[in-house]
Amino acid sequence: MLIKKKKDLPDNQVTDYSIYQSRRHFMKTMAGLGLMATAGGIIQPSFANTSRQFSTNEKLTSFDDISSYCNYYEFGTGKSDPKKNAHSLVTSPWSVVVEGECQKPGKYNLEDLLKPVSIEERNYRFRCVEGWSMVIPWMGFPLAELIKRMKPTSKAKYVYFETLLDPQHMPGQKTKVLDWPYTEGLRMDEAMNPLTLMATGLYGKDLLNQNGAPLRLVVPWKYGFKSIKSIAKIRFMEHQPVNSWQKANMTEYGFYSNVNPQVNHPRWSQRKERRIGEFRKRKTLMFNGYSEQVASLYKGMDLKKNF
């Protein structure tokens, strides 16, 4: 499917939450009839997957909060820095290099990478290690779809991701706060889990720069810093990669980054979280509430040792 890029809108012109909810209800009704409505008429549902199999029904965080309260150190360490500074990032054209233990390595234009995929909408809990959380209506496709297309070999045990390295347009990369470019990794079975999403948008529109445009990773049972943004490279590896936060501080950040309220960060408790837009804290759920779908991936593992 060709993804038509939309012009970014000012925050105050984004669809109101109540209107967005009404539109979702209408689309689900149309899907039940075997059709999907668009501005140009009617298309088949395969071009707009409305499956909610993995979504939460919790109240969504507002678009304004999602787009203004961000972790994206390439544009600054403050939560409001990405919104102020990310406008400098050029996201079109965009390409992703695929390499390593696979049969289909190469440099792929984003449009070609997205052509065969079906964009889905999923409402995922999104939790950050500092104790705050959101519920975000992501648009994207399962990472498993992309992996299958690249045909990894039997040696591929891990999937490594790398953010664009562009200090000219990503001013945070001129600092030494992290070892650039930003890197992340997943075990292959984590990457193939149906929950794991390659996100291209949220709230029904393309990702904004501060949210990781044009392509980012979303792994809802892990802490938010595991969700690498502006992906420019994917590598299939035999051995476990070292991610950026491990490089920064091995004692505080592990490879897995699973939400586990029983394991405290050395500088704060993980047992409670505050949802953005709310005052009262809530209990942190194991695997961020996705235990049923992912607990089996870690059977037999010491989750305090493998944090």
Same domain for 87 and 150? yes
Q: Is residue 86 part of a domain?
A: yes
Q: Is residue 269 part of a domain?
A: yes
Same domain for 19 and 149? no
* DSSP letters for 169-231: T-GGGGSSSS-SSPEEEEEHHHHHSTT-EEEEEETTEEPPGGGTTT-EEE-TTBBGGGS--SE
Same domain for 101 and 214? yes
The whole-model pTM stands at 0.85
pLDDT at 34: 38
Q: Is residue 306 part of a domain?
A: no
Q: Is residue 1 part of a domain?
A: no
269, amino acid identity: S
Q: Is residue 159 part of a domain?
A: yes
**pLDDT tens for the 307 residues of the chain, in order:** 333 344 444 443 444 444 544 455 444 444 443 333 333 332 223 334 445 678 999 999 999 999 999 999 999 999 999 999 999 999 999 999 999 999 999 999 999 999 989 899 999 999 998 889 999 999 999 999 999 999 999 999 999 999 999 999 999 999 999 999 999 999 999 999 999 999 999 999 999 999 999 999 999 999 999 999 999 999 999 999 999 999 999 999 999 999 999 988 888 888 999 999 999 999 999 999 999 999 999 999 999 999 9
Same domain for 18 and 64? no
Tell me the residue range of the domain where 19 lies.
13-50
Residue 246: both structure tokens together: 């491990």
| 201 closest CA partner among 138, 295, 265 | 138
pLDDT at 24: 52
Same domain for 205 and 166? yes
Q: Is residue 219 part of a domain?
A: yes
Same domain for 24 and 149? no
- Domain C-terminal end among 5, 34, 50: 50
Same domain for 38 and 177? no
Same domain for 124 and 42? no
Q: Is residue 43 part of a domain?
A: yes
| Number of domains, the chain | 2
Question: pLDDT for 37-49, tens place per residue?
Answer: 333 332 223 334 4
CATH of the domain at 152: 3.90.420.10
* DSSP category for residue 265: B
pLDDT at 267: 87
CA distance 26 to 32: 10
- Judged by phi (left if over 0) then psi (alpha if -120 to 50, else beta), residue 232 lies in alpha
Same domain for 151 and 279? yes
Residue 296: both structure tokens together: 């089996």
Q: Is residue 223 part of a domain?
A: yes
pLDDT at 79: 96
Same domain for 175 and 208? yes
Same domain for 22 and 86? no
pLDDT at 38: 31
Same domain for 34 and 127? no
